[in-house]
């Protein structure tokens, strides 16, 4: 990796959140990430950023802030190496390492999903029993927020992987959304017996036998419409291919014509949390806008402030009383 | 099957469309199908229906129409057999047979997709080279109508099957939507090289080499958001599992918060056309409303009147000039 933090961030004032931002990740990096980082800083005075990437891009953020605010920005310079691809991916690797070393509280990247998942699994460690950490997205529904996972980490998962994702998703809904006894559904294409592919036919008995964290319960098969209405499930598990396609379709529909009305809350960030790793890693789409990136940074800060990852780990290890 | 038409419909007056309606198909059959059939009759004076199912259900439609209109209704009674499942599925089999025998022009069913596809393939025959006939849905976008296929027929297709679906979808967009040189995209989860599963990695060279009907051209990988915007593809091919989940999600989102504004046309019917068979077979969701069923019947009538299936077959057999 070869990069070292040029300025260590102040540790742990109450309310402070130190987010390592991958300036190199995303289709329009670094320009759009620079914009997003600035907007996030302007919206949250207790936010500190560790900007990981080319020094000149980090400098743009610094110069745009008033002198009294510049202490909230640290930089971790990365210079182009011989191979462009490894250079770009070293952004997220260095950001993850900064969290592992205690120099930041959470990571935000809009870069390649595979590189982010691998960097986080290696750099932060996976929770016990987790093979492939899933990305969990949050969708607005008229009935409240819905957790959809996986949305791009496990393209072709086996049954055990999806079962673990059901556990992680249940913990997420319990801790982050405050849902008592989350209802967990399996996404398929028809609720008649025998519908769907092999994975969908073999999973229901396995899911029905799980002890889900936070008092979660498996409520059976759900369909694409149930992800929109949110009336029968709080958490929906699926493979990462289907989840990614559905997420990008629904998010774009909501952006074009307005999201479902959720009386209790605003629109959730268009960002996903990587579950099953020992740290807070938030991922934006490659095509994320500056506002999406600012929302992703704010989401990472919120998760850090509520100590969400530790709280999820705690309830994941509790066993239910039969 | 054992059922025979009790009243042959009048053949082929100009503008007349004779639709065989499966009264037994759908989650709320026959009541909701009866309602849908009535609404379709009231909206289209040149519509004739062959009602396939229990006589008492067909009688409800008849009694609700003015005496002078009752000649537009014929019945094909089906009584419960020993096994409920085979009785229900015999509805769509008998409806397909009525088309094969010339007693109706098209089929409408909201019943089990697998039974409909199998009945149509056996009863009407498949087009040359078609292994598994796909279901093609139409979605509204701000840029016009978009054909999404397959949406539930082939859950785990091989490469050759998806390639044939690309050909059939291109013919559909050309004939039914009047698109010159349809742009055909392959749905995946990221356009970087190496993303997606094995199917998605192996298909692009095969699709790029196809001679697509109607002057269609393969434009490469697309994502869930592109199915909503409609700006880069007129036709999107995918496996039937992903297509079904995305379709049900987007249709429900559009029903809850309004569809994308299409300046040229209204909202397309929430019904899919079975492609690659020698006849017109339209499928509604199991959970279809009476309005959905009426729209599906009207769609079947429109396709018959424009001789869409014959026109698609004609351009499918033409070879492009290199």
Contact across the interface for A253 and B253, Cβ inside 8 Å: yes
Assess whether pLDDT exceeds 50 at residue B187: yes
Assess whether pLDDT exceeds 60 at residue B11: no
Position A83 confidence tier, pLDDT thresholds 50, 70, 90 = low
End-to-end CA, chain B: 48
Position A13 scores a pLDDT of 57
Position A2 scores a pLDDT of 36
What is the C-alpha to C-alpha distance for residues B220 and B226, in angstroms, rounded to an integer? 12
Angle at alpha carbon of residue A251, lines to A249 and A253, rounded to 5°: 70
**Lowest-confidence pick of A10-14, B55-59, B77-81, B119-123:** A10-14
β-bridge pairing B183-187 and B217-222:
parallel
Structure tokens at B57: 């259900």
Query: Residue A197: which of B155, B187, B287 has the nearest Cβ?
Result: B155
How remote is the C-alpha of A30 from its chain's centroid? 20
How remote is the C-alpha of B238 from its chain's centroid? 16
Helix/strand/coil for B109 = strand
Measure Cα distances from A258 to A141, A250, A254, A255 in Å.
Answer: 11, 10, 5, 6
Structural domains in chain A, CATH included, are 15-125+277-304 (3.40.50.10950), 133-269 (3.40.718.10)
Which residue, among B107, B137, B101, has the nearest Cα to B120 in the 3D structure? B107
Position B4 confidence tier, pLDDT thresholds 50, 70, 90 = very low
Position B13 scores a pLDDT of 58
Query: Residue B241: which of A112, A242, A259 has the nearest Cβ?
Result: A242
Structure tokens at A242: 């289907």
Structure tokens at A299: 């989401």
Sequence length of chain B is: 322
Output phi, psi for B58, to 5 deg: -60, -35
Mutation target vs A (from B88, B245, B284; most A CBs, 10 A cutoff): B245
Tokens 């087009």, located at residue: B127
Percent of chain B with pLDDT over 90: 80
Chain B environment of A251 (Cβ under 8 Å):
225
Does the CB of A110 have a partner CB in chain B at under 8 Å?
no
How remote is the C-alpha of B70 from its chain's centroid? 27
- Contact, B19 vs B33, CB < 8 A? no
Assess whether pLDDT exceeds 50 at residue A164: yes
Does the CB of A157 have a partner CB in chain B at under 8 Å?
no
- Contact, B161 vs B154, CB < 8 A? yes
Assess whether pLDDT exceeds 60 at residue A77: yes
With a CB-CB cutoff of 8 Å, which residues 236-275 of chain B face chain A?
Answer: 238, 240-242, 244-254, 256-260
pLDDT digits (tens, 9 = 90+) for B123-136: 999 999 999 999 99
**Lowest-confidence pick of A55-59, A124-128, B239-243, B302-306:** A55-59
Position A73 confidence tier, pLDDT thresholds 50, 70, 90 = very high
Peptide bond into A150 cis (omega under 30): yes
Average of pLDDT values for A84-112? 88
Measure Cα distances from B233 to A108, A260, B109 in Å.
Answer: 32, 26, 29
Q: Which residue of B has its CA nearest to A112?
A: B192
Q: Which residue of B has its CA nearest to A191?
A: B286
Mutation target vs B (from A110, A156, A190, A192; most B CBs, 10 A cutoff): A190
pLDDT digits (tens, 9 = 90+) for B196-207: 888 999 999 999
Position A86 scores a pLDDT of 66
Position B6 scores a pLDDT of 46
Taking one residue from A and the other from B, the number of pairs with CB-CB distance under 8 angstroms is: 128
Chain A environment of B249 (Cβ under 8 Å):
224-225, 227-228, 246, 249-250
- Contact, A249 vs B246, CB < 8 A? yes
Does the CB of B112 have a partner CB in chain A at under 8 Å?
yes
């Amino acid at each position: 990796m070869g990069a070292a933090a040029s300025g260590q961030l102040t540790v742990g004032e109450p309310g402070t959140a130190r987010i390592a931002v991958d300036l190199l990740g995303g289709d329009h990096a670094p320009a759009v990430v620079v914009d997003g980082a600035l907007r996030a800083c302007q919206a949250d005075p207790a936010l500190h950023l560790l900007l990981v990437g080319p020094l000149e891009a980090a400098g743009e953020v610094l110069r745009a802030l008033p002198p009294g605010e510049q202490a909230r920005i640290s930089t971790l310079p990365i210079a182009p190496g011989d191979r462009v691809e490894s250079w770009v991916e070293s952004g997220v690797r260095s950001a993850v390492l900064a969290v592992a070393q205690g120099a930041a509280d959470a990571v935000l990247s809009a870069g390649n999903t595979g590189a982010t998942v691998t960097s986080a699994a290696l750099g932060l460690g996976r929770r016990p029993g987790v093979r492939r950490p899933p990305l969990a997205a949050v969708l607005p529904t008229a009935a409240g927020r819905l957790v959809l996972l996986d949305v791009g980490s496990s393209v072709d998962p086996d049954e055990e992987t999806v079962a673990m994702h059901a556990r992680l998703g249940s913990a997420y809904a319990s801790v982050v959304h405050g849902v008592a006894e989350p209802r967990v559904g399996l996404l398929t294409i028809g609720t008649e017996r025998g519908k769907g592919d092999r994975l969908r036919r073999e999973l229901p008995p396995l899911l029905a036998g799980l002890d889900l964290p936070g008092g979660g319960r498996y409520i059976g098969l759900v369909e694409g419409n149930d992800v929109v209405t949110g009336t029968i499930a709080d958490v929906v598990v699926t493979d990462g291919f289907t989840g990614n396609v559905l997420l990008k379709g629904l998010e774009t529909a909501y952006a074009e014509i307005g999201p479902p009305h959720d009386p209790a809350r605003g629109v959730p960030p268009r960002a996903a949390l990587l579950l099953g790793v020992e740290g807070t890693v938030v991922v934006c789409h490659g095509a994320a806008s500056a506002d999406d990136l600012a929302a992703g940074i704010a989401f990472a800060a919120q998760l850090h402030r509520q100590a969400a990852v530790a709280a999820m780990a705690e309830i994941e290890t509790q066993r239910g009383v039969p």
